[in-house]
Amino acid sequence: MMTSLQDSDPVIRDYMIKHSLPQIYKALLAGLCVSCPEDPLHFIEEKILSILEDQDCEICWHTFIDEDKQISSLAGGIVYDMFGNPEDSLCPSHLLEKAYSCYRTNLFKMCFMGWKSYISMKKMKAARLLERMEETEMYHKQRRIKLAFIKWTAWVQFRKQRQNDALRKLQKVQESVHCRNTITAWRHVVQDAKRAKEYFKRLERDIQESQNSEIPQGDGQDRLSLLPNKLSLKIFQSLGVRDLLKCALVCHSWKAITQISSLWTEIDFSPEASWIIDRTVERILRVHRVYVISVNLCGCTLVQKSSFRRISKFTLISLKRSCLFCFVFVKKGQCKNLQELDISECPNLNDENMKMILEGCHSLLHLNLAFTHITNATIRVLSRCCLMLRSLSLAYCTSFSDKGLQYLTTEKGCHRLNYLDLSGCSQISVDGFRYVAEACSSLQQIVLDDLPTLTDTCVQVLMSKCHALTAISLLDSPYLSDVTFKTIAEEISLTKIQIEGNNRMMDSSLKALCRSSLKLSEVQMSDCTRMTDASLKSLGSLTKLCNLNISGCIKVTDMGIHYITEGLSAVELRELDLSYCPKLTDLSLTRITQKCSNLTNLSVCFCENLTDNGFECLDSCASLISLDITGCKIHDKGLAALGTNHSMRKLTAAECVFITDNGIKMFCQLCHRLELLDVCHCVCLSDRAIKALSFFCRTIATVRIAGCPKMTDTAVKYLTRVGHFLKELDVSGCPLLTDRTPSFLLCSCTQLRSISMLYCKNISKQAALKLQRRVQHWKYSNNDSPYSLD
């Protein structure tokens, strides 16, 4: 009730306290609960009246309870619960002591708990403070480290910036010095070029004036002399050295034309090897030394050692495929454009001669020393003198060693080589290849053919330094394994690779090469017997493949050709060699015809499963120019179908024993533009075949009928009647030919350059020798034929 009063309105609360209404309520309620009257209202009325009568009495909760009235346990419990025990009011001291004790206990307990809480809180604060101090110390330490690291980083960057600035300044100074030196050298070169140009112009003008004064205008008695000089010059440019010398003896006008310098820039003495001598060479070069750029003395056996003795007075210009003492000279100081030198196949060439030559050819770019006996001394001179050399061939030079190649690393010469040929140099070891790699790291093409001693280590040493290689040839190197080709795939990216006669190379090697060298355009994998269709599948992924040679890969089937023809480069393919692939059938030829629309050269030699049906498909290959079907089982029907391909220019059908005269006739009737026909060892052919060839194919230039026993002099006579363009003829192994054959050729074939008459026992040597002076390549013997002609 007191609680409810506290929450009530203050006016009402004051009123109730003033009139002791709470005490009255308690007393009435306690009396009702204890007395339990029958009429509670009447009981309340009496007690209120007693209060009104005695207003000064103190009202307590037990005022209306009779003293003699026993309070029941239930009523007492209710009353005591509501108003307290009457004994409490009777014994206030005891209650106070108890209350005090309880209060003290509670107070002590509260103080103890408060103290305990305080102590715990203090310990907690101390622990938290300690943790914070440790965190603060750690933070402070890290901050100091961070600040120190920031300062150190800034210092390092500052130092690096200063170093970079210094490096840039040094580079700028170096570039300026290099630029100044380059400009100075360029100025000197320009001045020399201007002086040389003026000299050449003056010399040319003098020559032209002398020519104009020597040519008797209008007095010539032949049509050539009456032509303008430019037209006459074009005619004379097609003549050889011997013809030019003869023309110079005809008349003054012809001699003047033969003295024009442009006719002697490239001199080819090799066709005249049987008669050319030192005196003739020296006389020609003395007159035309200024303009001579290229000279070919291949096979000139009459050129003697006197040429070497004159080398100290002259400077070499250019030689191509020389056979013995192949040297051409001009006076020192008059030829400053030296670029090419080819003195290959000179058995008497020695180191002393090479030293004199190379010391006078400092601007040499191309040098060929193949098939010579040079030693380490020559290579040492090369490394010292040939600073501008770009191309070098040492093929089949077996007299030098690794020590000679070591000279290349010690001097400045040959460091710019981009082409190197070491074919047949089996004496080179791993150390030699290491020296080559160190000295010629800019190589782009290398030829390592015919090296049976070449190992994986040799190639790995090369690949470790020569990362610019784009073309490599490894023909006849049987001991190279997959390790070599995977190393090549890892180190370089190729555009051309040639491999032949390797029985260790697997499909995985070619797959790795195709993945690394996406620009491969020429691939030769001939006689690699482990190659399967999986290799051709890898080749089919290339996009620029234009030349493919897989001859001798006996495991290749039609499925492999399917991969090639369905590949990305089928349209780009120009040359395809499938010789000695016995598992190929007509289906492959059909796919090639359908997909390879730009194919120009196709070879299917000794593909025994090809038939006439397959060859008939080739008539629709409009771009096909050259076809080689040697050893195939083709008949007249298939050959006639090939004739419908009007783009055919060259046909090689050697050892096609089923071809007859009728087949050749039907083919020639349709293929009028044929330029080459090879029917060697086609034993069924006779004079009738050559008659059809000479009648229908008027532009034929090369005919090979070796091993055809039915051929007679009549066949050669047919050829000579219309053989105005005939340049090469092979009649070896034709036993019925007589001396009439050389006679026919002498009379009619003026352009004949090559004749082979081996094993012609009815042709006398005296008749054959008459042809030797007229041709460049001449072969003759009257021994018994080794061919099996049964």
Reported as a single tens digit per residue, the pLDDT across 482-524 is 999 999 999 899 999 999 998 888 999 999 999 999 999 999 9
pLDDT for res 98: 78
Q: In 374-414, which residue ranges form alpha helices assigned H by DSSP?
A: 376-385, 402-410
User: pLDDT tens-digit profile of 549-579?
Assistant: 999 999 999 999 999 999 888 999 999 999 9
Contacts of 403 (CB under 8 A, 6+ apart): 376
pLDDT, greater one: 213 or 333: 213
Query: For the ranges 102-116, 278-292, 346-360, 667-681, which has the lowest average pLDDT?
Result: 278-292
From residue 446, give the alpha-carbon distance in Å to each of 498, 500, 701. Answer: 11, 15, 35
The answer to whether 415 touches 389, Cβ cutoff 8 Å, is: no
pLDDT greater than 60 at residue 684: yes
What single string gives the DSSP state of each residue in 214-252? Answer: HS-TTT-SSHHHHS-HHHHHHHHTTS-HHHHHHHTTT-H
Q: What is the mean pLDDT of residues 672-701?
A: 91
CA dist., res. 674 & res. 306, Å (int) = 47
CA dist., res. 57 & res. 780, Å (int) = 175
Strand ranges in 15-163 using DSSP code E only, listed in sequence order = none
The answer to whether 729 touches 756, Cβ cutoff 8 Å, is: yes
Which percentage of the chain shows pLDDT scores above 90?
Answer: 40
What is the overall mean pLDDT for the chain? 82
Q: What is the mean pLDDT of residues 742-771?
A: 88
CA dist., res. 323 & res. 299, Å (int) = 4
What is the enclosing helix (H) or strand (E) of 128? helix 92-214
pLDDT greater than 90 at residue 245: no
CA dist., res. 701 & res. 675, Å (int) = 5
pLDDT for res 5: 53
Contacts of 64 (CB under 8 A, 6+ apart): 27, 28, 30, 31, 35, 47
Query: For the ranges 77-91, 253-267, 450-464, 672-686, which has the lowest average pLDDT?
Result: 77-91
Residue 547 β-bridge partners: 522, 575
pLDDT for res 413: 82
Contacts of 512 (CB under 8 A, 6+ apart): 485, 486, 489, 490
Task: To the nearest 10°, report the CA torsion of 513, 515, 520, 526.
Answer: 40
**What does pTM read for this prediction?**
0.68
The answer to whether 511 touches 535, Cβ cutoff 8 Å, is: yes
Q: Which residue, 403, 412, 353, is CA-closest to 376?
A: 403
pLDDT, greater one: 121 or 63: 121
User: pLDDT tens-digit profile of 608-634?
Assistant: 999 999 999 888 888 999 999 999 999
User: pLDDT tens-digit profile of 28-64?
Assistant: 887 777 777 888 888 888 878 887 777 666 777 777 7
Confidence of residue 86 (pLDDT cuts 50, 70, 90): very low
Q: What are phi and psi of 531, to 5 degrees?
A: -70, 135
CA dist., res. 382 & res. 392, Å (int) = 10
From residue 212, give the alpha-carbon distance in Å to each of 207, 244, 254. Answer: 9, 19, 12
pLDDT for res 222: 65
Q: What is the mean pLDDT of residues 764-790?
A: 79
Q: What is the mean pLDDT of residues 701-709?
A: 93
From residue 223, give the alpha-carbon distance in Å to each of 248, 601, 736. Answer: 16, 42, 43
pLDDT for res 580: 94
Amino acid at 572: E
Query: For the ranges 157-171, 199-213, 658-672, which has the lowest average pLDDT?
Result: 199-213
pLDDT greater than 90 at residue 364: no
Q: What is the mean pLDDT of residues 162-169?
A: 91
pLDDT for res 357: 76
pLDDT greater than 50 at residue 150: yes
